[in-house]
Each structure stands twice: as structure tokens, then as C-alpha cells.
Structure 1
């Protein structure tokens, strides 16, 4: 390789430059948003990086030649979905000009309303913090409002093709137990609980956050939930070696489904909740808080911490409230 003489200006070969830049191993992301009519839009991108932890910022570069570029220029929010090593098909789909990229890809909303892929390595739900014009791309800087990750291996990309990344998880990176996703399903002042097989009652759960508002039921069937009325309500651990909980508040889309519930499921009026038969102290405390907040019409989110936990108003950007003890 011959280097130019000091001070000598040389023309840059764009093909050679692209190949040189392509030797940097990256992950693969799908960047998503919604257009002015609320339709989901998305594209594959690998120019992604973290920017700041305080405030929590990231960036992704959007090519001006992309079909969805005008949408990203106008949108006030977006999500970055990092793909795992089993999602080369998803990467190829969102890199294509398919008119309906979301028809066979599970997605949901979490905080901003941007589509979040329900099966991916890691996702970040962001509002637009800034846009920077940069040649044939726009640098989209996002402020992170919510995120989630999994123990899957990442999908890599290098020299214009997908790459396998050996990714043994280091000790302590993730808990050995997955988080339990529970649902507070409210119907006319009653909450849905499920028998635990030991004489007690627990929240209905799902392997991961449900897609398209469909909660699978034990023994078959599903309940339809209102996607626009579902939000994260509580996050906590129950013990050092037990799985933690992500609890979402939801409402039924079809109240008539109450008459067709499996025997193991039952709706309890707020004033008849079987607290003595709910084995988890944290779940009992959370249910009491939910009943109290439902009566007042103001909801908070609880986050566990070493000093007893904190709560904040849903949708309120103010700092966490004072610690509470459950």
C-alpha cells in the first residue's frame, strides 16, 4: 500500500473506500418509525452507535436515498432494533423495497409509539434528540426512553456479508432466569388471575411481551387486548436467584370473552382479590397499589432498587419520586 506524499491531495475512490469501511465489523439493525398516517416504516442499517449515557443518547445514520428517508426526516420518534443471528431474513426484508415489510414480522409499541420488533437481540425506543446533515446521510440522534435485550447472539456484518459472532455471555451479564412477563388485565373493575396449581393465584403471564395484542392462554386460545391501552406498569425482582417481573397493564378488547375463560382463569372484583392466596409479597403490594391508583385515575410505574424502589408518573418526564418500601 503506497501512501501519498505529505500535503498531496488525492481523489478518493468511493468503491475502494466502501470496501475499506466495510472491514469494520458491525451489528445489523432495523430502524423503525411511523409515517404521518400512522403506518409503520422501517429500513435496515448498520451505521449505529451509542453516544451518551447521561442523557441516554444513540445515533443511527439514515441514507438520503432510502425510500423511507422522508418519513424519518419528519418523525418525532423512532426505534432501533438490533438483530440476532437468526434474523438474516428480517435484515434482507427491511433492506428490500417490499411494500409491506411488517405483515409477517411481529411488532408492538412500548413508549413513543414507534414499532418495536418483538423478536430481536436488543431494542431502543427513542424520541428524536437532534438531526445532523452529513453528506448523503442524515445522522439521527435519539434520546432513549425504553429498551430491552436478550441473551441471543448478535447478527454481524463485515465485508459486505453477514458474519457469525461467537458470543458466550460473560458471568453476570444477564440473569440465568428470564424475566417473567405478567399482565394486569382490567375488565370493569375486576382483575384477571390464574391458578398456580398449588392453591394460590398469580398474574397471567406470557413468554415475552405479546404481539398484536394477543395473550395466549394455558390449554389453548387467546385473549385480545387493546394495544393502545397497554403500558409497562412495574419492573422488579422477587429474590436474588428468582426471575424478575415485567408487568404490563392491559384491557380486554372483547369483554364478551369473560364468558369463555378456561377454568384456571378468573376475574376478581377489586374488593374481592384473594391477597392471602397470592404467594408473592411483591405481587400483593403491586395489586394494592394498582387498585388504589385506579380509583384515583393516576398511574405510576414502580422500579425496584436496593433502597426499596421508586415510582414515577406514567408519561411524566420529571425525576423519580422519593423511595417507597413494599
Structure 2
């Protein structure tokens, strides 16, 4: 019904409006970045949505009253980490005023340097496309530079509380994105390899993501890893009909002699790697590059492509490690 020109419009009740907004079921995200000193900063947010596929854009809304707002306002990059249903504690942590939210949460630097939570449902690593003023919030639009996802159940939020979203994956979902996750696990100048059951050696792989600093290995056993020393190292395919590979660098947290690994695992000195017993040409080439870069102390990230691939050098990681511990 149309209002008369002289009739006064009733003010909107912000509490009632908030409750109305809250009936829209959302996921839960942790958005992260680094401040001017390189320290990780993050906060929980559920005002998130996709924007565009071409160019790849997303947005998240940040309250201007949040303590991390000035950092996001000034940073040129950020990451959006969608949480899975086992991460209520992570959501609560990043919604709190804790002085060190990252102390108990394992995170990596993938592309921009923004902290990416190692264990989450899906992550997007972004550069800032634009920042739009919107009342008591700011709309942060990001251009996606890298992303990753998993088949876990999402953490939902509705009417001011967490909600379960139990929905089995549709047939074929993620099938084109299946990846073998391998690890270059280093200890005291040696590298961990696993027997392939055919008289040769392969890189160890994991049965799930790193949890509480421990990596469960395919074939049995687990390793405690240094939480701030795990980095993406290489992404490549070996054949059109095979899954791709994600290779991470990692270091164990204690001397490997005390790890108690099953007999199918063995540490080899860097200068004694059994290249002739590694079947995959791509893995051999990647290992030779790793040995060479380890000697120089300067590493790159290899990304496969139709014209032979690219190596993006990331330099010495030590300054990042110091920032992560600070």
C-alpha cells in the first residue's frame, strides 16, 4: 500500500532487522591478513559472497568497529577461510579479543602472504580489488589469486547460532580436483621417503590434513611438524588421466631417530637420494630442484603449465618465520 506524502515513515528497529538478516543461513569464515610489521591478524565473519568468475572476485563485509578493521583497510591482500563443522572453536577464537589468535592454529603462506588456515573447508587467497564504504561496515572486494577446497561438511550459522549442514557430496563433486598431497619432510639434512611396494620409493602422503601440528601418514604413523615451517612447494600433473600433485615442504619437530615410524619409511641424506628407484620422472625432477634450492637456501613454487611451467621464487623464508613467531 502506497504511503501518503505527509505520512511519517516508521523507523526501522535495528535489533529486529538484525534478527531478520539472521534468518539467512550462511557459512562461517575467518578472514586473515598481515599488518605492517608482518604479524598475522584475523577475525570471524559471515557476510561473505562470490561476486564474479571473470575476473575471479569475492567480497566480505567488515565491521568498522572491529579491532582488525584498520589493518584490513590498509593491507593489499587478505585470505578468506571457510570453516568446516569441526571448527566451532576456531570461529569462537577469531571472534574473541584474544591477544594471539594464531598461537594454536596452523597456517601457511600460499600466494599473497596472507595466512591461510591449513585445516579449513575452503580457502581463497586474494589481493584487494576495491574497498567500498557501506555504513557501519566496509565491503572488501578481493581478486582471487589461489584457492583450495575439501569434501568436509560446512559450518553453518543461522539465527545467531551455529547450524549443522549435513549434505553428502553430489556424485562427481571435486572429482576433477582430486589431488595427491605429498610432503618433502626434512630433518637434520635428510629427506623422508616411503616404499612404493614395487621396490622403489615415493614421497610420503597424508591421510588427512595437519591437525594440532601432527601429520597422519598414509601407510601408518604420524609426524609432529614445525607449525610455522610448512609451505606449498610444487603443483603439477604427471599425465592427463592421473590426479595432480600438491607438494608441501615441512620439517619435523624433533630428531627423526625418535619418531618411531613404520619400516616402510626411511630418511635419506640429501646427497644420497635414490633417484634411480623413483619411478616418476616428474618427482625425480622436482626432488633434484629441491636439493639444489636447499643448498642455496632460496626456494621457489613450481606451477605446471602447457608451455613447461613456471617457478616463482619466494626467497629466504627466515624473515617470515620470525614474523610468524612474534
TM-score range, shorter chain: 0.7 to 0.9
Q: Are positions 1:63 and 2:82 aligned together?
A: no
Q: Scaled by the length of structure 1, what TM-score is found?
A: 0.76
Structure 1 residue 273: Cα displacement: 4.3
Aligned position for 1:53:
53
- For the residue of structure 2 that corresponds to 1:89, the secondary structure is helix
For residues 30 and 156 of structure 1, the distance between their equivalents in structure 2, rounded to whole angstroms, comes to 13
Q: Where does residue 161 of structure 1 map in the other structure?
A: 161
State the SS of the aligned residue for 2:175.
coil
Kindly report which structure 2 residues correspond to 1:61-210, keeping only aligned pairs within 5 A, or say none: 61-175=61-175, 179-184=179-184, 192-208=192-208, 210=210
- Whether the aligned pair in 1 keeps the contact of 2:62 and 2:140 (CA below 8 Å) is yes
Secondary structure, aligned partner of 2:19: helix
- Note closer, same or farther for the CA distance 1:290–1:87 as it changes in structure 2 (3 Å cut): closer
> What are the Cα deviations for residues 51-109 of structure 1, in whole angstroms up to 9, with x where unaligned?
22233221111101112222222323221111112222222222222333333333232
Distance 1:142 1:9 in 2: 40
Which residue is 2:246 aligned to? 246
Post-superposition offset of 1:123: 0.9
Aligned equivalent of 2:25: 25
Return the offset for 1:200.
Answer: 0.8
Q: Say whether 1:265 aligns with 2:266.
A: yes
Report the equivalent of 1:234.
234
Instruction: Give unpaired runs (5+ residues) of structure 2.
Output: 315-326
Aligned mates of 2:166, 2:2 — CA distance in 1 = 35
Deviations 1:188-217 (A, max 9, x none): 997543333432111133345657987667
Counterpart contact for 2:214–2:222, Cα < 8 Å:
no
For 1:101 and 1:193, the matched residues in 2 are separated by 34
RCO higher in 1 or 2 (8 Å CA, sep ≥ 6)? 2
Tell me the TM-score normalised to structure 2 length.
0.76
Cα RMSD after superposing both structures = 3.7
Please, which runs of 5 or more residues in structure 1 have no aligned partner? 316-326
When residues 89 and 258 of structure 1 are mapped into structure 2, their CA distance, relative to the original with a 3 A threshold, is closer
Q: Evaluate the alpha carbon distance shift between residue 279 and residue 95 of structure 1 in structure 2; reply closer, same or farther with a 3 A threshold.
A: same
Q: 1:313 maps to what in 2?
A: 312
Three-state SS of the structure 2 residue aligned to 1:70 is: helix
